[in-house]
Structure 1
Amino acid sequence: MNDKVNQDAINKALWAACDTFRGTISADTYKDFILTMLFLKYISDVWQDHYDQYQKEYGDEPELIEEMLKNERFVLPREASFYRLWEQRHEPGNGERIDQALHAIEEANGTKLKDAGKSVFQDISFNTDKLGEEKQKNTILRHLLEDFAKPELNLSPSRVGNLDVIGNGYEYLIKNFAASGGQKAGEFYTPPEVSELMAELLDPQPGDSICDPACGSASLLMKCGRKVREHHGSKQYALYGQEAIGSTWSLAKMNMFLHGEDNHRIEWGDTLRNPKLLDASGMLMQFDIVTANPPFSLDKWGHEEAEHDKFGRFKRGIPPKTKGDYAFILHMIETMKAKTGRMAVVVPHGVLFRGASEGRIRQKLIEENLLDAVIGLPEKLFYGTGIPAAILLFSKAKTGDGVLFIDASREFKAGKNQNLLSEEHIHRILRTYRYRINDERYSHRASLEEIRENDYNLNIPRYVDTFVEEAEIDLQTVRKEREQLKAQLAALELEMDGYLKELGYGA
């Protein structure tokens, strides 16, 4: 099948494949099966496509073709191909065969699908009782294999061309799972327009090292890398991340693989309790760019261990036991490079004004002249929460001591369940930030003295006055309009009486 495809067709077919699981298990569970099958189908189609091309070029020389295929980005053992599984779909043991195929792919690809001994598919098993008893499980998985074997999901390069339909389809699925899965699912996904805004604000350059210590499915990280390619035509950058949830770490690894991002290091583990991105001396690695959308106000983040943190991340103070927002911020601050480091982090608004230990930490960060800008975002942008958030920008290369405040809370396109930032909204924020524009009722450059006078409270309305006075009411005009309406009503009453008399309803 050589007809070209568009992204919508791929997305529609992928979402339809989810029907196999709906009503049996929750979206938060079956997303792993769908995304993993997409991964398997994609690499199988690429492998088969390249095999066919070599066969046309060299004829029926299987040994030569096998040798040529060793130069591919990845290796696909013959018995692990999607098509081998599909051929056996009517036989018992679909779950076990799929698991064996995934294990074989891991073993054949060395470190590309592993980190520190942890395998991408370690937390994903198709041979699970979650899908029911053996007969039901086998039927469900047969349907899944048949869904992905449909012509619409022929993902071979000769069909999809240079379009990143696979990576985009993967992102589409993750977005929809986040939208339908509530707060838990939304934790691993940053809406694309928000990650677009953050990446543009950070302006990644060739040679930059870029880190997300709470990377989720890695969409924000990859957006930063994409900006280097788009703006500079360069692939000279390195992506680093850490993710605490094992299955989400797997999503990030597969996501990187599908997008061709080979220069990355994604660790599995709790960033606050056990940071894994360390240098040769065992200290925290330093990065040009640090960015994250960490869990809001995380409870039980590791308060009990913070006082004795060997990395010195909490020297400015220890955040509250039940709110980990500043724990992530302080970790990120410590991983910024001394002269080039810049940082963007999504936070709930409480981070801007809460007192006690958070207030003291906030004051120190401001006095150290690290805070560069505060950007208020609209409500309902993020999955799983309707509250508005803000982006804090920090920099170790600031030239002045002021802070730019931008109130973009009213700048959005309303959706059915989620609000969106349009290109126009993003452009306005970027322009205001880059040129440090004072814009009445939208942005304000606050001096350090002004922030001190506000007792280091960063609540945006203290700096950007969005109040608009209502127009003064002209009572004489209102009275005149009222008299005119009364006269019109009286004339209509007379006209109506005339019609009623003609119809014989008069007195």
Structure 2
Amino acid sequence: MKLTQQQLEAHLWGAANILRGKTAGQDYKNYILSLMFYKRLCDQWEHEADDAIVELERQQGRTFTDAQKAVFRARGEHRFRIPEGNRWGDILASSIDLGRKLTAAMRAVSSANEELRGVFTVDWNAPAPDGSGKPLIANEVVHALVQHFNTYDLSNASVSPDVLGRAYEYLIKKFADDAGAKAGEFFTPPEVVDTLVRILEPQPGDTVYDPTCGSGGMLVHCADYLREGGHNANDARFFGQEMNWGNAAIGKINSVLHRLEAEIAAGASTITDPFFRDDQGKVRRFSLVLANFPFSDDFWWLKPEQQTDDKKKKTKLKQQVFGKEGYKDPFGRFGRGTPFRAPPASTGDYAFILHILASLTANGRAGVVCPQGVLFRGQPAIEEETGEFDADGNPKIKRRKADDEHLIRKALIDARLVDAVISLPLNVFYGAGVPACLLILRKQRPPERHEQVLLVYAARHYRELSNQNELRPQDVMRMLVHVHAYGDAARVPALVAQHSRRIHDQIDAREHDEVQRLMAEYAGHVERLAMLKPRIAEQETKLAALSTKAERAKIEKALSQLRGQRDRATAKLAERDEKIAESRRRAEDDRHAVTEVGAELEALYQDPDELLKHARVVGVDEIEENEFNLNIPRYVDTFEPEPRVSVDEALRELKSARQSLVAAEHDLSSLLKTIGYTC
């Protein structure tokens, strides 16, 4: 029987619950994801072997003996090699020293498959930090995890690749929710990724690159977009680099599970050691780049192993890598030989942006998540009086050089590379409370847009959650319509219709998934209740037939316990039903909101004054007049007027407040009198 996505999700998250708290910080995600992937590889190997044997028996018209099957299993063709002695059955047959055996098996699989190098980074036999010699993860815990994962077959016979891929993404999202602020290192909210991907529209033949790829979500979303358009995902080619080995391993697993032929490099900084280079040693060029780089990295110019050095050593290193003209980049991305200055040492935002630009082909495009500071940080060159005078009585003038970030931003605009900027709501990213934006760059822009930049103010539309904010389906639609219309009102009705249909389908699918997820989560209580009902009926029948007090007391006690269990199970199912109802209400609200926003957008583009509060196509000449400052409130009316209140309503509220005050004073006076005080 095929596992549903929701059953698989519940099963995988159950494994996470076994290990949580037994490793350092959030490292447990790497253990769970790697174990799940290892089980998948082993199960699929067995499935492929079984299929091959069945086909051979059919071709030869005979049934093989167990010994013959063993020979054929070893010789069979497999997507990945699992060396003998390192299969799931070998681990399952062990009861002691499981951590060492599991680590050895995973490393053997990794070594046997070039595509899986670097996938298994965890050490199940790592020692505890107290020096006791005991493993950090006790043998009993590893055994419990192995037994848990053994519950289900994870091969294609039981789990389709699409279901497994979606369940893996769900698990990464759950880990991100659990990790809180640290999740930003490996996870970008899918709504943001979806917005970027749909703006850039990956096509067959594209080379897609993420220089800080984390868990690989942006690459996977590009592949999904291609499949949605009826293409094979691998009609494009995918590349990524990730400094953190553990996150890169998650990304590699993610790409394999999504049947994506992605090349992901790990362990080095994209800035100091870009992995993808051409024959001349310069950075390789790609047609499409997406990135969510670390915001405002203070030490972007240091290799990972150097970032742990003390302040004195970092200062010395800084003197070595920065000259009078800034960072000495051996890959020609900024500084001498390019129109761009080297980024300042104090923040790495423009280092990543310039790396992305250097990584684009002549007609490439990029979508980058940035802190909004890149839009306005840095002063232009200025002249100002010092307050002193020369010998002729003329005021002395002090000339201040333009800041590096201002000059880089000016160069980007002068080169007509900035196509659009979208400001995002606060707190939509894990651990990044600073205001963020989406920066859309294009090497070759349509002639009609060459002297323009689209600025979209999307910061006021979001769903407020307990820990962070979330972009809703209608919020994503707003951004996409603004960008794809690019100020052309005639295009809006068709864009609204296109995105409305797709987003309604997304909402329907999400509602179905959430309901099925809740059904899977509470399935145990359903089974419990189904088991209890006949037992209660049986005991009630017995009770009715008994006459002695002692016999009745015994049955009544048992009945009381069973009814208590029934009531608790019933309460749990009522809880489930309320959550399902809430999920359906939210989906219906979102469907209604998408329809409303569609009508709102069509009306908005018929009212230029109102449109100025949301989006505006700005001429480069106006941006020059504003000293190349791209801060969106300079161009878009972001002012939020106070809601109007009628005079009659205000007077009624004032009268009500006065009456409440009089009543409160009367109550206080009465209370004081009762305890002996006189007013």
The interval holding the TM-score normalised by the smaller chain is 0.7 to 0.9
How far apart, CA to CA, are the structure 2 residues paired with 1:489 and 1:42?
Answer: 69
1:373 aligns with 2:449: no
Task: Assess, with a 3 A threshold, how the Cα gap between structure 1 residues 454 and 269 changes in structure 2: closer, same or farther.
Answer: same
CA deviation digits over 1:280-305, x for unaligned, max 9?
Answer: 22221111001100001111111635
Task: Check the 8 A contact 1:381/1:388 in 2, yes or no.
Answer: no
| Farther-moved stretch of structure 1 (50-59 vs 16-25) | 50-59
- The residue aligned with 1:397 is 444
- The residue aligned with 2:618 is 446
Letter paired with 2:418: L
How far apart, CA to CA, are the structure 2 residues paired with 1:463 and 1:68?
Answer: 67
- The residue aligned with 1:343 is 366
- The residue aligned with 1:257 is 256
Task: Assess, with a 3 A threshold, how the Cα gap between structure 1 residues 383 and 488 changes in structure 2: closer, same or farther.
Answer: closer
Task: Assess, with a 3 A threshold, how the Cα gap between structure 1 residues 488 and 44 changes in structure 2: closer, same or farther.
Answer: closer
- The residue aligned with 2:468 is 418
Cα displacement (A) at 1:232: 4.3
Residue aligned with 1:330, SS: helix
| Farther-moved stretch of structure 1 (431-440 vs 202-211) | 431-440
How far apart, CA to CA, are the structure 2 residues paired with 1:413 and 1:82?
Answer: 44
Task: Check the 8 A contact 2:425/2:460 in 1, yes or no.
Answer: yes
How far apart, CA to CA, are the structure 2 residues paired with 1:36 and 1:485?
Answer: 62
- The residue aligned with 1:385 is 432
Q: Point out the structure with the larger helix share.
A: 2
- Map 1:6-21 onto structure 2 (within 5 A): 6-21=4-19
When the two chains are superposed, the root-mean-square deviation of aligned CA atoms in Å is 2.6
How far apart, CA to CA, are the structure 1 residues paired with 2:351 and 2:453?
Answer: 22
- The residue aligned with 1:224 is 222
Task: Assess, with a 3 A threshold, how the Cα gap between structure 1 residues 473 and 159 changes in structure 2: closer, same or farther.
Answer: closer
- The residue aligned with 2:209 is 211
Task: Assess, with a 3 A threshold, how the Cα gap between structure 1 residues 366 and 158 changes in structure 2: closer, same or farther.
Answer: same
Consecutive unaligned residues of structure 1, counting only runs of 5 or more, are: 491-507
How far apart, CA to CA, are the structure 2 residues paired with 1:456 and 1:383?
Answer: 30
Cα displacement (A) at 1:150: 1.9
Letter paired with 1:74: F
Task: Check the 8 A contact 1:353/1:458 in 2, yes or no.
Answer: yes
- The residue aligned with 1:35 is 33
Q: Which of residues 37, 61, 86 in structure 1 aligns to 2:92?
A: 86
Letter paired with 1:286: R
Letter paired with 1:448: V
Letter paired with 2:258: H
- Map 1:481-492 onto structure 2 (within 5 A): none
Task: Assess, with a 3 A threshold, how the Cα gap between structure 1 residues 53 and 348 changes in structure 2: closer, same or farther.
Answer: same
1:145 aligns with 2:146: yes
Question: Which protein is bigger by CA-based radius of gyration?
Answer: 2
CA deviation digits over 1:411-441, x for unaligned, max 9?
Answer: 2223332322222222221111011036331
- The residue aligned with 1:496 is none
Q: Which of residues 66, 69, 89 in structure 2 aligns to 1:62?
A: 69
1:247 aligns with 2:246: yes
Letter paired with 1:168: R
Task: Check the 8 A contact 1:205/1:232 in 2, yes or no.
Answer: no
How far apart, CA to CA, are the structure 1 residues paired with 2:126 and 2:653?
Answer: 74
Letter paired with 1:361: I
Task: Check the 8 A contact 1:376/1:460 in 2, yes or no.
Answer: yes
- The residue aligned with 2:328 is 308
Residue aligned with 1:100, SS: helix
Letter paired with 1:334: A
Letter paired with 1:276: F
Q: Which of residues 386, 409, 413 in structure 1 aligns to 2:459?
A: 409
Task: Assess, with a 3 A threshold, how the Cα gap between structure 1 residues 484 and 425 changes in structure 2: closer, same or farther.
Answer: closer
How far apart, CA to CA, are the structure 2 residues paired with 1:220 and 1:34?
Answer: 22
How far apart, CA to CA, are the structure 2 residues paired with 1:489 and 1:314?
Answer: 68
Task: Check the 8 A contact 2:240/2:262 in 1, yes or no.
Answer: no
Cα displacement (A) at 1:478: 4.3
Letter paired with 2:481: R
Cα displacement (A) at 1:477: 6.3
Letter paired with 1:78: E
Task: Check the 8 A contact 1:179/1:186 in 2, yes or no.
Answer: no
Consecutive unaligned residues of structure 2, counting only runs of 5 or more, are: 58-62, 302-317, 379-402, 488-604, 606-610, 663-679
Residue aligned with 2:229, SS: helix
Residue aligned with 1:241, SS: strand
How far apart, CA to CA, are the structure 2 residues paired with 1:488 and 1:328?
Answer: 60
Task: Check the 8 A contact 1:179/1:384 in 2, yes or no.
Answer: no
TM-score by length of 1: 0.87
Letter paired with 1:97: K
CA deviation digits over 1:314-337, x for unaligned, max 9?
Answer: 231222222111100011011111
Cα displacement (A) at 1:263: 4.6
Letter paired with 1:147: H
Q: Which of residues 58, 73, 76 in structure 1 aligns to 2:79?
A: 73
How far apart, CA to CA, are the structure 1 residues paired with 2:419 and 2:297?
Answer: 24
- The residue aligned with 2:358 is 334
TM-score by length of 2: 0.66
- The residue aligned with 2:341 is 317
CA deviation digits over 1:38-96, x for unaligned, max 9?
Answer: 110111121222223333332434267336632x32112232122320121x22x1111
1:185 aligns with 2:183: yes
How far apart, CA to CA, are the structure 2 residues paired with 1:210 and 1:167?
Answer: 20
CA deviation digits over 1:251-295, x for unaligned, max 9?
Answer: 222222222112535354111111110012222111100110000
How far apart, CA to CA, are the structure 2 residues paired with 1:272 and 1:298?
Answer: 11
Residue aligned with 2:441, SS: strand
How far apart, CA to CA, are the structure 2 residues paired with 1:300 and 1:354?
Answer: 18
